[in-house]
Amino acid sequence: MGVPLYCTKIAKRFGREVEHEGHSHGMHVFAAPPSVVVDLCRFLKDDPELRFNFLSDICGVDRYPQTPRFEVVYHLYSIPLKWRLRIKCRVDDPPRVSSVVGVWKTANWHEREAYDMYGIVFDGHPDLRRIYMWEEFEGYPMRKDFPLRGYKDTYNPFGEEKTETSSSSLSDDQDNNSSQPGEKR
């Protein structure tokens, strides 16, 4: 199998902005800066010869202590042509990327997940709320500086004590129970 059509097309359209990072796990990988991700996605979806009409996943990655710290990974699939490809987008801290909800509607919940777990903010997202954790939850649990067992409270006596450094990025007026949802007796 030679170089797939989408590799040459991406190289032709975006030149050096989008870098080809090789082939792994059955997929060609491209690295795109946050500024061109939406354009690249729209191009891949709308081009009549590519038709990547299905966004199978958006993942967040925390590469702490590397910089840029975060990475957003898009997995695309072309249903008519049976092609898969992966786009990686490295973002700084605090992480901000443009939303691709305008390209694929399904990105809505994927982006909410990445926001919930990693705190990656998707500009232009219509409804960027937490999707797994409750509204009052503080912190982003999949970040590497978030303790695995969470913070100590009445429901979680084995969690870590909140210290000044660990809660510095969070709001100031929190007591032990503030991370519990709803009423408590």
Residues that bind other proteins (CB under 8 A): 133-134, 141, 146-151, 154-159, 179-185
Q: Select 102 or 150, whichever has its Cβ closest to other proteins.
A: 150
Closest separation between CB of residue 131 and other proteins, Å?
11
Closest separation between CB of residue 181 and other proteins, Å?
6
Tokens encoding 150: 């969470």
Bond into 95 cis (ω within 30): no
Tokens encoding 62: 């925390």
Measured distance CA(103)–CA(69) in Å, rounded: 26
SS3 84: strand
- Which residues does residue 91 pair with via DSSP β-bridges, in sequence order? 70
Closest separation between CB of residue 25 and other proteins, Å?
28
Closest separation between CB of residue 117 and other proteins, Å?
11
Residues found in the chain = 185
Phi then psi for 104, rounded to 5 degrees?
Answer: -120, 130
Q: Taking a C-beta distance cutoff of 8 angstroms, is the pair 71, 61 a contact?
A: yes
